[in-house]
Structure 1
Amino acid sequence: MAVNNMTTTAAPNMTTTAVNNMTTTAGNNMTTTAAPNMTTTAGNNITTTAVNNMTTTAVNNMTTTAVNNMTTTAGNNMTTTAVNNMTTTAVNNMTTTAGNNMTTTAVNNMTTTAVNNMTTTAGNNMTTVPPLTPNITVEALETPVSRAECGTQQLCVAEPSVCDPSAAGSCFFLAARQQSGSNFDFSISGESDGYIAATLSPDSTVGDNDPTYVCANNNGVVRFFSTVLNNGQLVSTELNVNSVRGRVNGRRIQCSFAATLPSATTRTTGFAISLSDGSFNPTSGDLGSPTTRFRSPAVDLTNVNATVNNEITTTATTTAAPTTTATTTTTATTTTAGIMTTAAVTNMTTTAVNNMTTTAGNNMTTTAGNNMTTVPPLTPNITVEALETPVSRAECGTQQLCVAEPSVCDPSATGSCFFLAARQQSGSNFDFSISGESDGYIAATLSPDSTVGDNDPTYVCANNNGVVRFFSTVLNNGQLVSTELNVNSVRGRVNGRRIQCSFAATLPSATTRTTGFAISLSDGSFNPTSGDLGSPTTRFRSPAVDLTNVNATVNNEITTTTTTTTTTAAPTTTVNHGITFHQSLTQALLITVGALGLAML
């Protein structure tokens, strides 16, 4: 037991051997100066507890060998200065706990060899970056997300790779900038009617309880969720995230936030990034299962110059390589007889060219592998918002397919005409605009075969006392039957008899008999009191049309049929029958007169 203010000076070549279970407690302000060639061998279970202001100065060639279960607890303000050739060899189960403000200054040739189960616990004032305090309150994002500083101040990933989140167009984007330690600033952008999300996985397997940051469109404003992605489901949890800002512009959702990421595993050098979207119910707050739009391998988020590829796109391109010949062919026909079996491997993507016909024999089986990428259908929502910009012919033939009756119809000008524009979002999801004159409603029917009216989806915009009321229906045997369709983002306006509306819809798959959809534009009566829709009168009907071909020429089959009948049928029928009857009557009279003459003779 050492009292306070004790000073001990050891002579040269001093050897101290401590027996087993030795305990030494040093008092305050203890100073120990060890002379040259001092050797200390500690036996088993030695415990040394140093209190405040202990200073140890070791001179030359000091060797300390600790055997089993040595524990050293240092008090506050402990300073150890080692000079030349100090060697410490710790064997089994050595534990060192450092108190506050501990400083160790090693000079020349200091060697510490720790063997089994060595544990060091550092006290206060050790420099580490604390995690962020959770706060997911959303403030307004004043500056839109952009590609500024990509490659200089922040790492950027996108799908497609040229995505500019500040420009028009559908794309997914993430930017990451390190604050310090594991704290990063993130910005994400994407198009969705529900939510967009970013998942950061500390290993290469995305979806194993990985932190996922969700920005949802909550009736025009951003609602933020901190979640983990596990087995394809988002589970709300508290994450170290704050400084959340967000904005919604139509279908485009953008937000920024700061987050503390978990430590990357020893198997990777960074984080795998996943960008996704999904449905969101503003009433219940439920998040649908995410659909992945971008997925990367492990990325060092601090390397702003890193090239990050989309594994989904890469996989699809690599796997689909054998179909290159088919893609460059205008028309491909494959006929298979017998028992055909097709098995698709994991991550298989098949791209079919236009007008490809496959005739399969009996007992055909197709098995698709896992992770096939499909575009999810839109979430139904037929709430009507104001259509600020009138429907027009702008971008017809460049960005959208347009059909009209008459063909020169300009829906932004005065005059009675019917008009539809179609623009593909992705997959089977399209944006539509329709315009027409009616005291009741106008409607657009899209038939996946050439027979319009066989339970075909029909989108109805009715004049409900000066505002648009939207109906999702099917047309069957000339009657409109209300049903739920995958349609949303509805906007409408009424100006006198002119009704205009725009909406997004997921179309059914076209049948094998056609390469597109037959389009029908119609109008009919509407009772605002009862909500009843009268039978539609068709004003325009097309053959099957490829809606993705914005340059397609689409004729009105009703006009063509009417013109043909008027020009050819009427004159031919009337004139020919009259001539035939006149000739027959004349011949009969001549025969009768001849017979009478012969009888008189």
Structure 2
Amino acid sequence: MLCAAEPSTCDPSQSGSCFFCGAKQSSGSNFEFSLSGESEGYVAASLSTDTTAGGNDPTYICANDNGVIKFFSALLDNDVLTVTTLAVTNVKGSVNGNKIQCTFSATIPAASVSRRSLSIRAQSFSLSVSTGAFNSTSDSLGSPTAKVQTDVINIANSTSTITNLINTTTTAAAATETTAATATTRTTAAATTRTTAAATTSTVPPLETPVSSAGCGISMLCAAEPSTCDPSQSGSCFFCGAKQSSGSNFEFSLSGESEGYVAASLSTDTTAGGNDPTYICANDNGVIKFFSALLDNDVLTVTTLAVTNVKGSVNGNNIQCTFSATIPAASVSRRSLSIRAQRFSMSVSTGAFNSTSDSLGSPTAKIQTNVIDIANSNATIDNLVNTATTTATPTTSHAVTLQQSFMQALLVTVGVLGLAML
């Protein structure tokens, strides 16, 4: 584990005021972080490509919400934190007086776009630990004050020597990992009540206009069954539209008939599965509940994917939703990320949903396309489920317009910190 601390002798498992951040690479761009510090508001860890915090730096924030942890992910720019969705899972945390501690897993963004592999590109960052004020009523985050600011280092290299540029003291990587004592928090029952899965959204704003096929073949790639499906009209059909906004960022619209859920999956081949990213709109007693998940061997495992701007509606068995997603790269090659991210097979499926347990049944495919460039709005799509060809229908209308973001915050209210501060 790479460790940044102030003072350099800081052991966050012991009493006393100090600031600490540990980073341990699990695979590629995936890291496990541990964070500790003294604050009445929040402690935060930021990653920057230079030694000046800001410039839309990804930031991970553990706030003291009346004695329990509330987690935010955000972008830091000019001392302003803008809450947004970053790829974060496995959050745990505790508050003991003014001492805030948390652990989490994060897929960190690539530091630059080059011909090196993603795992290498993602490692060169300056790491900072900061504190700031937090208003638990409005969820507002004050400007951060840095306590640790390192030089640019390979954060996957646990033996890196770290210089805290705030006071120029050198903190060497600890030779041994420490074992943290169990921190005192509120009762487990209280913490459990406040825990929400990071990859689910329990409240989704309604669609103001229904999903539509307007724009298919012009501004939006459309997969539909039957091929004449217009989800804005009555009648049973299945539909998924994909519109590239920039690079790997796409706007999706999804519609289908189900008593449980409808889902859209992306696969690098024509066989759904193999940890395929999946976006799920479920009927939760007449309102939409949104999940992101990985599909493998007909099993959906809920996880955090980069999704924002979710809206949805339920009308009888008709489920519709729109969302924005940053899709993963289909492969690692020397082409740019925007090109690599486009080659997918797209599927639309349905399944059962238990609103009491949030359990998702195995999906049944209604549409399974060939591997296509999903950024190409006029691509010809073959539905391999029934071998019927659905071609994008040209029209002079504009594509369906997504509404403004409802999910500006990834608010992960976390359980009791159950693992050691390393």
TM-score (norm 2): 0.46
Structure with the greater relative contact order (CA < 8 A, sep ≥ 6): 1 or 2? 2
More helix by share: 1
Which structure has greater strand proportion? 2
Structure 1 or 2, whichever has the larger Rg, is 1
Q: TM-score, normalised by structure 1?
A: 0.33
